[in-house]
Structure 1
């Protein structure tokens, strides 16, 4: 009897890991969490993971997790201690694009511990950068300011100055493949502004 239970348990653990691999596969191929859950039910029947488990694992892979191993079978959890919270905060401040799995690998903490620290202790959220036409550096900003001041001065000297102006603009851009919204995602606290990313890498005028 003990042998049968042991074999059954090993098969159960292997079956769950296989389903986690399937969830990761579906996420990589653009399936939604709901579609993934339905596919698991069709493939594994009564032995499929529940909806909550499926959605939780789908969210983990979406947040950057790569491992399909169960947290309980890996490194021991040390909890959300003040020391661990400080370590996670320092790493996030150094690089806001670190994924939860990156933090796990660096600090040796479980996935669940890092996730709780980020969401409950540091109150951060994983958010994609907002795409804008371009991000001006200090020099172009200063140049535009000087041009505006010159135009204002000429307008004061000649009230009909604007009627003589013919507006025009021309931009030369380099073709390139921008990062996707997922690739440009980073951690954001409630008080910090949403990150921005230019849709143009370089420009010439």
Structure 2
């Protein structure tokens, strides 16, 4: 800035000496070398001094300030965001009559804020539900401390919709053929449009029992009761070590908490482990792939 003021004095001096604009710029180039102002800027100041201008400093310009990122505007933006955190930059700029560039600078630099999307979770819990889960965890922890073999006796289960897949691999479909017989064709494994409801029960070792619900049938209390009866018989055959102290764990679906089911479990003296977390709906698929259940 000081070099520019100095050159303006030189231009004013050249005007007083009667030099023209070209001569003036040539003398500036010779005197200031690479620090010389541009030809157009030299011409503007030469014309201004020629018509009677005396000041070499810039005049005070009217209009909005060079920057809108003032403390007052930062406070205004903060108050607006406190009311609604989802406002966009353009909405804030239109509301406060500030440029979008200034609003973006205030939010990202002065307020150190950034737009963050909501995190998707399986379920938003109330404080009461959270406290209940903590209580259930403490109870289970105490039970496991008193009986280390507790988890071996727990059988958990859930229902889930499944798409039908062709489980046979290319290697499994191989056959013996002679040189003249046509080669067998097999399509790639793909998901079928047909869906089926699957119920799976498992413990810490492996799958204990699974069955598909017939098409057109929903899992009512009566259907679930029959499934539990078959589960009891299955446990007696494949898990005889836990048949007398079996503990069942399932979620709080209406068919699971119906009177028919709870009454049957009470008569069979089968305790229900308190439900804490929802069973992952993909868990059945993982077990199906692990044990190649078809």
Please tell me the TM-score bracket, short chain as reference. Answer: 0.3 to 0.5
Q: Give TM-score, length-normalised by structure 1.
A: 0.41
With CA pairs under 8 Å and 6+ residues apart, which has the higher RCO, 1 or 2?
1
Q: Look at both structures and tell me which one has the larger radius of gyration over its CA atoms.
A: 2
Is the helix fraction higher in 1 or 2? Answer: 1
